[in-house]
Amino acid sequence: MLQGKLGVVFGVANRRSIAWGIAQALSGAGARLALTYQERVGDTVNELAATLPGSMTMPCDVTRDEDIEGTFARLDEAFGGLDILVHSLAFAPHEALAGTFVDTTREAFRIALDVSAYSLVALARAARPLMERRGGGSIITMTYLGSDRVFPRYNVMGVAKAALESSVRYLASELGPPSIRVNAISAGPIRTLAARSIPGFPRMEEHVRQAAPLRRNTEAAEVGDVALFLASDLSRGVTGEVIFCDSGYHVMGTSMPLG
């Protein structure tokens, strides 16, 4: 489905990462990928990338404009264009998740919105000329139901995801003319490195497993398959959307009792 396509994946940290599940799906369908990483997980990402044919890796701190510029300059040199961009990035200081939302500090709010939402805008801007050269492209980001509903202890991340989803719609509108599609996948709770930092996460998993129509939690490989659809020409008429991959939990009216 993606033979000859060129992509970059932001957010791989280890084998449990949703970004890694997506990278495996895209590579398995024929895409050649670049994986970016933070310095602290560089060795792990390099080991994972070695299992994907034709892939490459590079460090990138998305809070630094110069890092983003350098990353896309390297992509341009190596690939000569870009078809797919996967944004699987989110972060908030631990204290902003452990306490109450009303006590969120200005700095914690800034960091959460910068890393989790603004980075998509910055990456889309940098990717645009490379995608235009290829006649268009697909930008995919990861969100969560906490953007629309209150989940105890999700706090400022819910606000950040709401900003991310709004950014998807505005980017889709502006990048549509050069045939660049922008969509989000809203996954159910998956035990990633980032998810484990959310207090009460195991209870969240158990609740979803019991309440979701499919009576199970979501797997990273399932999210990877949705991303494969969004990256391929099968979704050529889809943009500005939030597609759920959460075993159907979002359609239910049950509340989540997290203390």
CA atoms of 231 and 129, how far apart (whole Å):
18
The values of phi and psi at residue 8, to 5°, are: -130, 135
Provide CB contacts within 8 A for 42, sequence distance 6+. 57, 59
Q: Cβ distance 105 to 92 under 8 Å?
A: no
Provide CB contacts within 8 A for 53, sequence distance 6+. 27, 32
Catalytic, out of 37, 118, 154, 249:
154
Say whether 154 is catalytic. Answer: yes
Q: Cβ distance 151 to 104 under 8 Å?
A: no
Say whether 144 is catalytic. Answer: yes
Which helix (H) or strand (E) covers residue 244, if one does? strand 242-245
Q: Cβ distance 60 to 68 under 8 Å?
A: yes
Count of other CB atoms within 10 angstroms of residue 46: 14
Provide CB contacts within 8 A for 84, sequence distance 6+. 2, 5, 6, 7, 8, 26, 31, 137, 138, 139, 140, 231
Q: Cβ distance 212 to 246 under 8 Å?
A: yes
Catalytic, out of 37, 118, 144, 249:
144
Which residues lie across from 183 on neighbouring strands?
140
User: Hey, which residues are catalytic here?
Assistant: 144, 154
